[in-house]
Amino acid sequence: MKRKHMSFALIALIISIFTLSVKSASAEETTYKIGTDLTFAPFEFQNENNEYVGIDIDLLNAIAEDQGFAVDLRPLGFDASIQGVQSNQLDGMIAGMSITDERKETFDFSDPYFDSGIQMAVAADNDSITSYEDLEGETVGAKVGTESARFLEENKDQYGYDIKLYDDATGLYGAVRNGTVAAAFDDYPVLGYAINNGEPMKLVGEPEKGASYGFAVRKGQNQELLEKFNAGLANMKASGKYDEIVNTYITTSDSDADTSEMVKVEPKKDVYRIASDSAFAPFEFQNEDNEYVGIDVDLMNRAAELQGFNIEFNFIGFSGALQALDGNQADGMIAGMTITDERRQSYDFSDSYFESGIQIAVKEGNDSINSYEDLDGKTVGAKVGTESADFLIANEEKYGYSIKYYDAADQLYAAVNGGQIDAMMDDYPVIGYAISQGQKLVTPIEKESGGQYGFAVKKGQNPELIQMFNEALKEMKRTGEYDQIINKYIEDGSATEKRVDESTITGLISNNYNVLLKGLWNTLLLALISFALALVIGIIFGLFSVAPIKALRVFAGIYVDIIRGIPMMVLAFFIFFGLSDAIGITIPDFAAGVITLTLNASAYIAEIVRGGINAVPKGQMEASRSLGMTYTRTMQKIILPQAIKIMIPSFVNQFVISLKDTTIISVIGVVELLQTGKIIVARTTQSTYVYLIIAIIYLVVITALTKLAKVLEKKVK
């Protein structure tokens, strides 16, 4: 009997163990996809180790551990997380989300895990504002679409202030620092965290009671997840773990952070001219609003704000920026520039602001290249003068490939996709950005550790500019702003969400037609102004070339030979960089482009004039002179009227050539139609469609001009 009871007990024990094992396995297998914001400190943000932390993240992870489920965290941003839950791509979201009646129609919320509120903050040295009554006549800032913005709008008439709205905390807090707004309103924990981490502000008054934050799932779905969250939250509060997590971020700052004060450096110029690349995403590129953004741009702008100096950017391309710095047309340069011993001989560098690396990329679907040894007999591309090019040259004999060089990234990527080269090498963040923007590339080989990027000035010049950048860089790293800027571009590959699909021709046109039209206008303006000036100069030298005075003929011949003998790109570089440096006055890029096109076209127009005059039979000049008419009178009344009829088709043809030649002027940074295309390609990586659109625009304009020329020619005849 005892043995029977023992058998039943043993069976029951086995069943219990099996049941517990199944439950445990089932719990381990349950993974929920949870969306969160990208940067909403102290609730979610990336720390110095690029790990997502914050009240929301730590609380979620603690609850998951307590309730035995796994979390697949998706830092997509607030709006994208909402859409992800609504479309069933996410199981839930936690992102400092206020529980409102409106949102309850779409979402089911957990028990509130944080009671928020809004509060006023002013600059740390501002003692004049101690209450809402002191805001009369002042401008007060808040973030767009927030509870703070609604509060300010509701109380605007009562307290007599103006409201200025900002897209993010960086702009809002920066406005307080530089005095654009007298006070800022934001969620009090966000303000408290910013102040604890070095933001030079102070809180004023008591927080206004705000909405509570909740964990959300789609209405009617994932109720088991909601129950687990509520149960875990209750356990966290009972054990004291909840208070520990909240106090980690709101009442204390990171003990390991550098708390040293930033040293303010006195600028020595009213405005510092900063040269940069024009298309080197994600470091500098134009976004969909045609504004230059990127890691370099944001870091430099923020450094200027922190140190209180003014900057003027010139996005001229990497080579152009180097020459501008050498020719004293720029005070500094930031363009993803690697610090090397060779460059240190000519430039002074800041502290490194980015540690780069280089990597091989091949076309998606190419399975034949998985190591450097597989490059034997293949062609590998790189951009001229880059770290990638240096690496490829150093290892060319070792791995047996041949190298092909390109001037820009879009050419490099197009060559890979078009099969002109088997592989390419470029900086890893640039490749990563290109892939995130739709480039069909893969990186089968681990990246090589690369050099460090630095902000540069000409050796021995503008030392205060380097010092100001270094101090601001340290401050940005101390407060976490540096990580926010880097992660903004490297992590999601884009500074802004795409408004339309730019992978199609219609999408590209609809999103970029304004900037394309502006580029076309600049092209036409360049061509019209330069051609009008070239006509005047060309006709004068053309007349000189057939003048009876030998000195004039020799002078005209020398002018034509010199101008026609110098390639136009070289002429553009000389005028923009060399001549500016020689005369000590900076020639604007557009003016330099006009001068270049004018000189080039005038030489050819002079030859057209000379040919047209010589095409008129010489006997007419002799007959006229024999009748007693002067040389000048004969040219006016007899020779030129006939010559002009001969010249007109050539003049129109020369104008068309000048219009096409404007593309060359893009080398000195003039944003004409081709340069506009390059800028769009840098952001979208859609080189085929973009250049097709530009080719069609040129075709339409030039065909219209040709037809006009034929009509004009008929009328003259």
More confident residue, 710 or 132: 132
Shared domain check, 521 and 662: yes
Q: Are residues 572 and 678 in the same domain?
A: yes
**Residue 110 confidence (pLDDT):** 93
The answer to whether residue 330 is domain-embedded is: yes
Choice among 31-45, 226-240, 609-623 with the minimum mean pLDDT: 609-623
Judgement on whether residues 598 and 701 belong to the same structural domain of the protein: yes
CA distances from 268 to 273, 308, 462 (A): 13, 11, 8
> 580 and 514 in one domain?
yes
46 neighbors 52 (Cβ within 8 angstroms)? yes
> Closest Cα to residue 193, out of 476, 472, 480?
480
Q: Quick one: 510 and 608 in the same domain?
A: yes
Average confidence (pLDDT) over 591-611: 90
8 Å CB contact between 218 and 93: no
CA atoms within 13 A on the CB side of 173: 23
- Each residue of 335-351: pLDDT tens digit? 988 888 888 888 999 98
Residues 121 and 186 in one domain: yes
pLDDT tens per residue across span 500-541: 566 678 877 877 788 888 888 988 999 899 999 999 999 899
Does residue 257 form part of some domain?
Answer: no
Q: What is the mean pLDDT of residues 25-34?
A: 69
The tens digit of pLDDT for each residue in 131-161 reads 899 999 999 998 876 788 888 988 999 999 9
Q: What are 229's two structure tokens?
A: 């969250």
Segment 535-573, tens digit of pLDDT: 999 989 988 988 888 899 899 999 999 998 999 888 888
What mean pLDDT comes out for the span 276-283?
Answer: 82
Q: Which amino acid is at 688?
A: T
pLDDT reported for residue 29? 60
* Nearest-angstrom CA–CA distance, 500 and 349: 40
Q: Is the pLDDT of residue 244 over 50?
A: yes
Q: Which of 193, 223, 250 is the last residue of a domain?
A: 250
The predicted model scores a pTM of 0.43
Instruction: Tell me how many domains the chain contains.
Output: 5
Most confident of 71-85, 243-257, 556-570: 556-570
> pLDDT tens digit string along 446-490?
888 767 889 999 988 888 999 999 999 989 888 888 888 887 776
Q: Do 617 and 678 belong together in one domain?
A: yes
Question: Looking at the structure, do residues 613 and 559 belong to the same domain, yes or no?
Answer: yes
**Distance (Å, rounded) from C-alpha 47 to C-alpha 190?**
16
Would residue 6 count as lying in a domain? no
pLDDT mean across residues, the chain: 82
Distance of CA 98 to the CA centre of its chain: 32
Q: For the domain that residue 385 is a member of, what is the CATH number?
A: 3.40.190.10
Within-domain flag for 263:
no
Query: By residue range, what is the domain housing residue 205?
Result: 113-211
3-state secondary structure of 16: helix
Q: Is residue 376 part of a domain?
A: yes
How far apart are the C-alpha atoms of 606 and 651, rounded to whole Å?
11
Domain-embedded: residue 562: yes
Whether residue 626 is contained in a domain is answered as yes
3 in a structural domain: no
pLDDT at 11 over 60: no
In this structure, are 338 and 464 located in the same domain? yes
pLDDT in tens, 367-379: 899 999 999 999 9
Please indicate, yes or no, whether residues 508 and 388 belong to a single structural domain of this protein.
no
The pLDDT value recorded for residue 716 is 64
Asked if residue 628 and residue 689 are part of one domain, the reply reads yes
**Predicted confidence (pLDDT) at residue 95 exceeds the cutoff of 80:** yes
Same domain, 335 and 430: no
